[in-house]
Amino acid sequence: MDRITLINELMTKKKLTNYLEIGVFNGRVFFRVKSTFKVAVDPFFAFDSLRKIGKLFINPYNFFNRFFEKKSDDFFAQDADRVFDNKKVQLSLIDGMHEYRYALRDVENTLKYLSDDGVIIMHDCNPVTKEEAGTFEEWKAKEFKGQWNGDVWKTILHLRTFRDDIDVFVLDCDQGLGIVTKRKPESRLSFTQAQIDQFTYEDFDKNRAAWINLKQPDYIKGYFNL
């Protein structure tokens, strides 16, 4: 299962209409989402107006898209209250800056606007090599070549440690799709902030299934009655 399949299955079967994507790049996922109210946030969209118009013909749901070409922190500080004033977020893909604290702020900010039965999907939660789990600086030094998941896995550890009001697990597919809902947590972790900060990729690799609450992709079907 990949993120676009999961997103559109949730959209269709749960009859959702409101979608937020943080980190959109060329819109490969965003423009294919079947949702009447879609919000895109990215400091550098990798598409122009012509591509936006073209996407209208491919997927008519793109008619009411709203684009915010800025960092997610700025979007939440400047626009989110107005944008989500009478429309709660029902489904969100968080796929912006793949660093622990950035991803954490994106999740915590999105939770403020998420409907009670809403769903957050976080990309890049299960890096399979140390290289893919490196820092932004390391990825930049490689001229942004190859896959970069960063340390979003630490965001999962943080949420499972410090939040008792959300359920968090990761599907073992598409580089690790983190799922966050406002349900009671199935299980939690008991790390300190200092421990999370100090954990290395090797620590993660030894404990990944337990730490990120890794589930087989099919788990999602029972979880959401799909």
Ligand X SMILES: C[S@@+](CC[C@H](N)C(=O)[O-])C[C@H]1O[C@@H](n2cnc3c(N)ncnc32)[C@H](O)[C@@H]1O
Binding part of the chain for ligand X, among 88-96, 153-161, 162-170, 195-203 by CB under 6 A, reads 88-96
Torsion 69-72-77-81 (CA) sign: positive
Residues 94-153 interacting with ligand X (rule: CB under 6 A): 95-97, 102
34 binds ligand X (CB under 6 A): no
CB of 192 to ligand X, least distance (A): 27
Query: Hey, how many other C-beta atoms are within 10 angstroms of the C-beta on 70?
Result: 16
DSSP output for 10-39:
HHHHTT--EEEEE--TT-TTGGG---SEEE
29 binds ligand X (CB under 6 A): yes
Amino acid at 135: T
Show Cβ contacts of residue 187 under 8 Å, excluding neighbours closer than 6 positions.
160, 213
163 binds ligand X (CB under 6 A): no
Which of 5, 13, 28, 66 forms a contact with ligand X (CB under 6 A)? 28
Binding part of the chain for ligand X, among 35-43, 53-61, 128-136, 177-185 by CB under 6 A, reads 35-43
44 binds ligand X (CB under 6 A): yes
Task: Give the integer Cα–Cα distance in Å for 70 and 45.
Answer: 9
Amino acid at 195: Q
CB of 78 to ligand X, least distance (A): 13
24 binds ligand X (CB under 6 A): yes
Amino acid at 63: F
CB of 206 to ligand X, least distance (A): 27
Q: Which helix (H) or strand (E) holds 154?
A: helix 152-162
CB of 74 to ligand X, least distance (A): 8
Q: Residue numbers of the site for ligand X (CB under 6 A)? A: 3, 21-25, 28-29, 41-44, 71-72, 93, 95-97, 102
